[in-house]
């Protein structure tokens, strides 16, 4: 069994953290695309940003009560 120094263990953990961040960013990007596709499917692309913002705010406020 080889012994690792603290700096080696730190480097390994930092690498794992960076890989996890990358995976998280990819997952979040995929989720954003899925939400965008769903919004487009339902015609929300025809609304302006202010209308969308208000609609999403309403959805969130109603959704939190569920």
**Percent of the chain with pLDDT strictly greater than 70:** 94
Q: Give residue 65's pLDDT.
A: 55
pLDDT tens digits, residue range 28-49? 999 999 999 998 999 988 999 9
pTM of the model: 0.68
Mean pLDDT of the chain: 91
Maximum C-alpha span of the chain: 63
Rg (CA), the chain: 21
Q: Looking at 1-66, which runs of residues are DSSP E strands?
A: none
């Amino acid at each position: 069994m080889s012994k690792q120094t603290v700096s080696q263990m730190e480097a390994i953990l930092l690498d794992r953290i960076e890989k996890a961040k990358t995976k998280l960013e990819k997952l979040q990007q995929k989720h954003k695309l899925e939400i965008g596709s769903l919004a487009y499917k339902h015609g929300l692309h025809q609304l302006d940003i202010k209308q969308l913002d208000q609609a999403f705010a309403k959805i969130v406020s109603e959704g939190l009560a569920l």
